[in-house]
Amino acid sequence: MRFKNIPFFLSAAMLSGVAISSSCSGENAGDGGTAVLRFTAIPDSNSTELEAKYKVVADYLAEQLDVPVEYVPTADYTASVEMFKNDDVQLAWFGGLSGVQARHAVEGSRAIAQGKVDPYFKSYFIANASTGLERRDDFPMEFADLSFTFGSAQSTSGRLMPENFIRQNTGKSPKEFFGGKESNFSGSHDKTAKEVEAGTFQAGALNYVTYDTMVKEGKLDPEKCRIIWVTPTYADYNWTVHPSVNETFGAGFDDRIQAALIGVTDPTLLTAMSREEGIVAATNEDFASIAEVAQSLGFLD
């Protein structure tokens, strides 16, 4: 930048103003200083597939909200919560536990939407066909003698609630129930299904949506990877929004995001969110029971 024929003190002031303007563009600013709404989703299945699906969601939200929207992939459940706590993302598709943890850490954050299925979520306890186990109504105590894997260590449907139901039905912690062995974690629901199908682990627990979808799409053989027990229902996945959106984009912006999510009717978008049945409103109170379980098992600070 040249300031020909401009007095030095004016040039310095103008340069100072440029520097100040650049430094005040805001942490949430994108190219050209425009604020960007960033969101993430817990990596509960194949991360490459998630990125492709959520690009569609980002485009939809950008159109509805008239602001730039960016999907930010995350390495694991804990990282997604940390990103939300640090305001690196302002919107997130959480599981029940990760949502509770995020809202516990960020005062004023809200659960705003969930799938129609999410208030009535459930987990499958599955086993490889070689075990000879069949589907039953009571908890499969035979699992105590099998190699077993949870999903992510921070997953509601792949760890927290399965552990809760193990404790309820056996009076033992998972380590005690499985003969003193430390818990195994596959990292995601689809990996749990494939590891049990392959016999890498004889049994495991995962969310029912992933299992049913994999079977429907021909990615899992239900004869090799069998459903043995279905848990009672509980509240799970949710969209949670950071209170900073109202400061960045204007008062009531969180309500606008909620309206946009609840208003999704396009089958492509609903499929991208694995919620073909539709999206409904959610509140923090919907996940009070999950918070209680999380607190009792030491998942909240």
Q: Are 103 and 284 in contact (CB under 8 A)?
A: yes
Percentage, residues of the chain above pLDDT 90: 83
User: Which residues does 238 contact at the CB level (< 8 Å), separation at least 6?
Assistant: 93, 94, 96, 99, 111, 112, 113, 114, 118, 282, 286, 287
Res 153 pLDDT > 70: yes
Q: Are strands 69-71 and 91-94 parallel, antiparallel or unpaired?
A: unpaired
Strands (E), the chain: 37-41, 69-71, 91-94, 110-115, 123-128, 148-150, 184-185, 203-207, 225-230, 238-241, 279-281
Least confident of 8-22, 88-102, 107-121: 8-22
pLDDT in tens, 156-214: 999 999 999 999 999 999 999 999 999 999 999 999 999 999 999 999 999 999 999 99
User: Which residues does 182 contact at the CB level (< 8 Å), separation at least 6?
Assistant: 175
Q: Which domains does the chain possess?
A: 31-119+236-296 (3.40.190.10), 122-230 (3.40.190.10)
State how far the Cα of 128 lies from the Cα of 225, in Å rounded to an integer: 5
Hey, what are 234's tokens? 């509980």
Res 22 pLDDT > 80: no
State how far the Cα of 66 lies from the Cα of 253, in Å rounded to an integer: 11
Least confident of 1-15, 215-229, 278-292: 1-15
Instruction: Specify the pLDDT at position 185.
Output: 97
Instruction: Specify the pLDDT at position 31.
Output: 54
Q: Are strands 110-115 and 279-281 parallel, antiparallel or unpaired?
A: antiparallel
Least confident of 1-10, 117-126, 136-145, 153-162: 1-10
pLDDT in tens, 35-90: 999 999 998 777 778 888 999 999 999 999 999 999 999 999 999 999 999 999 99
pTM given for the model:
0.82
- List Cα–Cα distances, 97 to 101, 155, 186, in angstroms: 6, 7, 18
Res 132 pLDDT > 90: yes
Res 276 pLDDT > 80: yes
DSSP-H helix ranges across 66-135: 77-85, 96-105
Q: Are strands 69-71 and 37-41 parallel, antiparallel or unpaired?
A: parallel
Instruction: Specify the pLDDT at position 46.
Output: 73
Percentage, residues of the chain above pLDDT 70: 89
Predicted confidence band at 8 (pLDDT cuts at 50, 70, 90)? very low
Predicted confidence band at 14 (pLDDT cuts at 50, 70, 90)? very low
Instruction: Specify the pLDDT at position 100.
Output: 97
Strand partners, 113: 239, 281
Query: Closest Cα to residue 118, out of 287, 272, 249, 299?
Result: 287
Q: What is the mean pLDDT of residues 120-134?
A: 98
- List Cα–Cα distances, 244 to 77, 114, 248, 262, 300, in angstroms: 21, 21, 6, 21, 23
Write down how long the chain is: 301
